Amino acid sequence: MGFIFRDFVAKIVNGFRTAGHAVEIVLILAVIVFVGYRVSLFWKHRADRVVPRVQVKALAAKLQAEGPGKYCSQMCAAMVTTVLALSAFPAQFELNPTTSAPR
């Protein structure tokens, strides 16, 4: 019985080896493409790693000068006014690090 199916089993094993090599090549190519994609994203967004800083008062002044609608709505303008009012009393509204509640 083994003599009859010997060539058949050899062809099946050879097919599995060929498929294994094909999967190996596909996986290696996928890893190379993925790494290349991540490097391209890193290179493309390299300027985005520097975040410009702005003071609260300067931002509030800019938002109020533009008026509601361009950058924010009426609700946003009210929040800017609140932030300006709160920034006048910074020590009074600091969070207590042990309780996370206003002093």
Domain count, the chain: 2
Structure tokens at 65: 């000068």
Exposure class string for 30-65: b at 16+ Cβ within 10 A, else e: eeeeeeeeeeeeeeeeeeeeeeeeeeeeeebeebee
pLDDT tens per residue across span 55-100: 877 877 776 776 656 556 666 666 767 766 666 655 555 555 555 5
Same structural domain, 75 and 96: yes
Same structural domain, 24 and 59: no
Closest by CA to 56, choosing from 77, 78, 83, is 83
Q: What is the pTM of this model?
A: 0.44
Domain that holds residue 69: 53-103
